[in-house]
Amino acid sequence: MKPINRRGFIHLSSFGLTSFTLPGFINKSVLINKKPIVVSTWDAGLNANLAAWKVLSTGGTALDAVEQGVMVTENEINCCVGLDANPDRDGFVTLDASIMDHQFNCGSVAFLERIKHPISVARKVMEKSPHVFLVGAGAQAFALANGFTLESGALSEQANKNYKAWLKTSNYQPVINVEKNQSSTYNDPAFNAPTKLMDGEWNHDTIGMIAMDQFGNLSGSCTTSGAGFKMRGRVGDSPIIGAGLYVDNEVGAVVATGQGEDVIRVAGASAVVEWMRQGKSPELACKLVVEKINRIKKEKAKDIQVCFVAINKKGIVGAYALQKGFNFSVYNKEGNTLKDAGYLI
């Protein structure tokens, strides 16, 4: 038997001693082994990671990092996160968010209007209420009672233009990889948003973030305005613990992005964690859940995108998507980098 060198041992051990490699599967998981680390979805994560890293690099907790990180994205002008995002089909921006720490504490809000930072409201739900999930008017009342400011509710100039353009056809058609953005102008009412807006800011969809701090503890967050021009009252996977986000400090942390309905169907984030519990690498765990979604959707799979990014307790990072185009951002002591995920179809 040919001896295994150190590099080969590290590659094999990234799967865990009890795992196996599927035929034809090439593991692209990122072996980090250095904490702290923060990982986020899409190229928007590069900017969000900067704020999270300020927390982690000065000895802060993963929980503080994932809140501060995605607040950056909530502040940016973009199509799909925060109050300046595109509205629902009735012309209102509604926000969803969730957060979870290393002790199974979690908080979520959905269908929240006129509050700038839904991720911070979700954390307040976790820390200041006996509940996990608040929605709509109740979530807004809770936010106001806890010191948050009620914003005007007026659409941003760009969102208003997009909404008026959409009203001409009123055709709801989610665009694959709108998060990554592949067209030349944010003004496109068909919703093919650009990589960057005219002011140079990244444009994207859901921002999900997971982090490990210097103590080895994991936390995660997710925030979104949901699908543009959605049916009023629609809620996707982002605020649902176990679907869009899940953290088990003994195993790992996962966030999802893409078509929320199909992530919910398979309890996506928690399913990825359970595969990691069985010894699968983060990337392989993500792939197995993506494959399940593909089997469920059958021929309709070509019309959607679903993506997962995960980190295990060893600090190994991996991601996988249904279709080509998903990327994720990783920041550790070696720097802040953007990586392409593997994909199925």
Q: Which residues pair with 320 in a beta bridge?
A: 308, 342
Residue 193 forms part of a structural domain: yes
154 class by beta-carbon count within 10 Å (0-12 exposed, 13-18 middle, 19+ buried): exposed
Residue 113 forms part of a structural domain: yes
pLDDT of residue 169: 84
The confidence band for 177, taking pLDDT boundaries of 50, 70 and 90, is: low
Report CA Rg, the chain: 19
Q: Does 94 score more than 80 pLDDT?
A: yes
3-state class (DSSP) for residue 107: strand
The confidence band for 2, taking pLDDT boundaries of 50, 70 and 90, is: very low
At which residue do the structure tokens 């953007």 appear? 338
What is the maximum span of the chain, computed from C-alpha positions, in angstroms?
Answer: 70
Q: What confidence tens digit (pLDDT) does each residue in 239-297 have?
A: 999 999 999 999 999 999 999 999 999 999 999 999 999 999 999 999 999 999 999 99
Q: Of 94, 148, 99, which is closest to residue 123 (Cα–Cα)? A: 99
- Name the percent of the chain lying above pLDDT 90: 75
Range of the domain at 199: 35-251
Amino acid in the structure at residue 140: Q
Residue 68 forms part of a structural domain: yes
Q: 208 — phi, psi (to 5°)?
A: -115, 145
pLDDT of residue 175: 56
Residue 145 forms part of a structural domain: yes
pLDDT of residue 266: 98
**Between 29 and 133, the higher pLDDT residue:** 133
Amino acid in the structure at residue 45: G
Q: How many domains does the chain have?
A: 1
- As a whole number, mean pLDDT of residues 288-315 equals 97
Q: CA separation (Å) from 44 to 64, 179, 180, 256?
A: 19, 9, 9, 15
- Name the percent of the chain lying above pLDDT 70: 80
The confidence band for 79, taking pLDDT boundaries of 50, 70 and 90, is: confident
Q: 339 — phi, psi (to 5°)?
A: -125, 145
b/e map 212-236, b = 16+ CB within 10 Å: bbeeebbbbbbbbbbbbbbeeebbb
Residue 80 DSSP label: S
Pairwise CA distance, residues 117 & 178, whole Å: 22
pLDDT of residue 176: 61
Residue 195 forms part of a structural domain: yes
pLDDT of residue 270: 98
Residue 328 forms part of a structural domain: no
Residue 30 DSSP label: B
- As a whole number, mean pLDDT of residues 214-236 equals 95
Amino acid in the structure at residue 181: N
Residue 71 forms part of a structural domain: yes
Q: What confidence tens digit (pLDDT) does each residue in 143-175 have?
A: 999 999 999 999 999 999 989 998 988 766 555
Residues involved in catalysis: 206
Q: What confidence tens digit (pLDDT) does each residue in 48-58 have?
A: 999 999 999 99
Instruction: Report whether 202 contacts 43 (CB < 8 A).
Output: yes
Q: Of 207, 210, 219, which is closest to residue 61 (Cα–Cα)? A: 219
Which runs of E-coded beta strand occur in 19-115? 37-41, 95-100, 106-112
pLDDT of residue 21: 45
Pairwise CA distance, residues 42 & 223, whole Å: 13
Lowest mean pLDDT among 105-114, 137-146, 185-194: 185-194
Residue 1 forms part of a structural domain: no
